[in-house]
Structure 1
Amino acid sequence: MANVDWDRVTSGVAREREKMIWRPYGLPTVLDLENSSFHDAPISTPWDVPEKLAVSVAITGAFFKHDQNPNQPLTPNEILDSAREVARAGASTVHLHVRDDDGYNVLSPERFRAVIDPLREEFPSLAIDGCLVPALDGEWELMKQVLQAGILDAAPINTTATYIGDSLFVKPAPIMIEKVRLINEAGSVPEIAVYTDADVSNADRFLIKSGLIQTPAVWLVLPALPGCSPMENPRQMIESLTRTVAAIKDIDPDAFIMVCAAGRASTHVAALAALMGLHIRVGMEDTYWLWPHREDRVQSNLQALQMGQLISQVVGRPVATPEEYRTMLGLPERRSVPVTA
């Protein structure tokens, strides 16, 4: 421990007459957070962030099964029930995958319609987007059938080449470009899904500079999964998200950006995104953890939505209604789609 010169301290206290230095030049106001007594310009104004917070719920995703989260909805009925539950509870929009009988991701027009048609009937204003990633023989044609059916308001395009867990996940440039053309042709909104900041560059080079996607565009940031932008601690989470968002803003200043509660970062990265004035996606697609510092599993998509609603209360940004979300994305009033037998 250092030796303190207490005689000097005592002398200094006496010299200052045991008082702090205080010169209140703005009296009678002591402290004003908005104005200065020396001029009439405001010194603080409200932050320029969107008033409403869009909260999407991603119902199941392509990967997690019951051995990872026993609560994961897998069958069409389970997916429909979960989507219906969050729609009734106030979700801005829902994001869908469908699974086959063994619980694996499938591009089945019939299974998509088994979920979407009843949702459309009960919630005509609800925007629904679906993930259409053709990875197996024949799935490209199935993807085209889903798009041509006109049942999706939006669909992501993944501008990535990365390992997701132990699987190599690559969207070759021609596949990216042609898929966006098909999404546009179907009258849906292409959502640019990025996993790292390099994916932002891919989107700019192949999709924006080509004119296939106009700005401001819709961006979906999927960090924190193994192989994506690393978020293994709070510092990484903050630095990674701010870097990716900055890269997007450099090429698309007015972008609509939605950040997923994903991987170990879970709801913490969603909370950070809401604080940054962005929008959030919660749900059981991208994580099975409630919090990054504990092992608690997500119990339901309703629970995940309620976490998003709590975040909205904390940051003072009310959750956008489905109608408000449609306006944010520039979606028209939902056209009627006949239900097929």
Structure 2
Amino acid sequence: MVFALLAVQLGSLVAPAYACGCGALVHDPASRLNVDRETSAVRWDGHREQIVMSLTVAGNAKQAAWIMPVPHRATVTLGDNALFDALDSVTAPVHRTRDHFWPHSDDWPFGSGSGNDGASAVPPRADAPAVGVVGRQRLGPFDVARLTATDPGALDSWLRQNGFRLPDGMTNDLKPYVDRKWEYVAVRLAPDHKGGTLAGILDPLKLTFASDRLVYPMRLSRRARNPQTLGLYVLAAHRMEPRSSIGGLPPDVTYAGKVPAGGALGHFADGERYLTALEQSFPVPSRIDGDHELRRAASDRPFQRVIYEEKLLTAGGIPVWLLTVGGVLVVFVVAALLLVSARRRRPVVPPPPVHAPPPLS
């Protein structure tokens, strides 16, 4: 019945939507807004989950709304920008020099000889109202509303009051959340200065909610019109991995290891945690068929990307391969000269004397 109400109220509405990894971003039909990248940090202790999300957007929209489904009632606060700087620093590739013996195409005598290019939900009461806004707050530039998931009309009403509409087709994507009595966090986004447009990296938001499994909502991203890229940092007791690729390319692990103490990252980790960094691309967002659920990996083996800077092996500034080849040639030349010299000094043995035949009788 709830889904039927959702379909009746929203099924005929058409408006642009540019989904982001863990929610949907909707805006004024007369404007445009693209999510270029989404980066999220997720911390899970087995009972509670925190998501800090940062969006990089571009376009000419003066305001937009971001909607995210959550399995239980969430608290919302502003995130710490320093967290992502710390994550970038910890997970950055290490640079190492790797010597090679034979010259490459950019080494002498084939190139210039530089040789330094790198590789490169709280269950509702029986007497609870069908539509309910359970909370509303102002966080910096954000107007945050927490809405019950039992009636999608609450979401529709909130969006209408702010000049937005849910896009056509999203009713099917919302149905699994409605069936499981999830709730929504709806955030109205606006530029910091009057008359401005949404562009660049938005301030991060942090959502905290109860969860007995590590889940990252992705289903609404199937409404995105452009390919999507997800950067996900997962902090848990062990190394984690997605159960499936949910319609995207296989996720790549870009870092795995223990979280260093102190700083913004140590504060967010709130104790000894294991950090797993994942990168995933969704070339065809319409193929996304569910939410990311992460599980413990087979081992806690650490991993870090390494960028090697190739360097020609030298000795005293001279390529070792040249010294080696030259040395071998010198040995051959010396051996040949010694052989010739020895042959010249060898005494000449005279031929045996020729005896005359005996006379005929």
Give the TM-score, by structure 2 length. 0.22
Give the structure with the larger helix fraction: 1
Give the structure with the larger strand fraction: 2
Higher RCO, 1 vs 2 (CA within 8 Å, ≥6 residues apart): 2
Give the TM-score, by structure 1 length. 0.22
